[in-house]
Amino acid sequence: MGLKGKMIGQTEIKGAGGDVFHDIISRRPHHLTNMSPVKVKGFTLINGGLGTVGSVICWNYTHEGKEKIGKQIIEDVDEVKQSVRFKMIEGDLMELYKSFIITYHVDKEGDYNLVTWTLEYEKLNENTPHPGTLLDFFLHMVEDIEAHHLKEA
């Protein structure tokens, strides 16, 4: 098994939830602290603008019961595909991985919306775990956003 890997996970989000999800992640990520407070503890825009390529973002989050931090740069935003690609540049993940890229996109067909997360990574060594629990983190965060949105609707 090599050091490079790719993990993909999908989850459905109901109704217009795909539009809401993309809007929150790309333009209103600071709302995640209210929508998914167990996972997302804080958000800081370091440089640039929300949803803008080249912007640098810092996250405080809880993963596997531990407080963590991650700094990322937005590499790509596609409004048509409702996708954003983030490259990790500092933080806890960079202590385990040489490179780590997080991408999501929303597929829509009528009332059916599917959020797909893709994690592309290169482990520092063979002992570094695959990021399966982090993929679960993102999939469950979608459920938190959906539950919050449906409660408000």
**Angstrom distance (rounded) from CA 99 to CA 131:** 12
Name the average pLDDT for the chain: 93
In three-state secondary structure terms, 34 is helix
- Whether the per-residue pLDDT at 140 is higher than 60: the answer is yes
Number of domains in the chain: 1
What is the Cα–Cα distance from 63 to 56, expressed in whole angstroms? 21
**Is 50:29 a contact under the CB 8 Å cutoff?**
yes
- Cβ neighbours of 90 (radius 10 Å): 15
CA torsion 111→145→80→70, rounded to 10°?
Answer: -160
Read off the CATH number of the domain in which 65 is found. 3.30.530.20
Return the higher-pLDDT residue of 69 and 109: 69
CB-CB contact of 79 with 61 (8 Å)? no
Give the tens place of pLDDT for each residue, 78-120.
999 999 999 999 999 999 999 999 999 999 877 779 999 999 9
Q: What pLDDT was estimated at residue 15?
A: 64
The reported pTM is 0.93
Tell me which residue range forms the domain holding 78: 4-152
Is the pLDDT assigned to residue 124 strictly greater than 70? yes
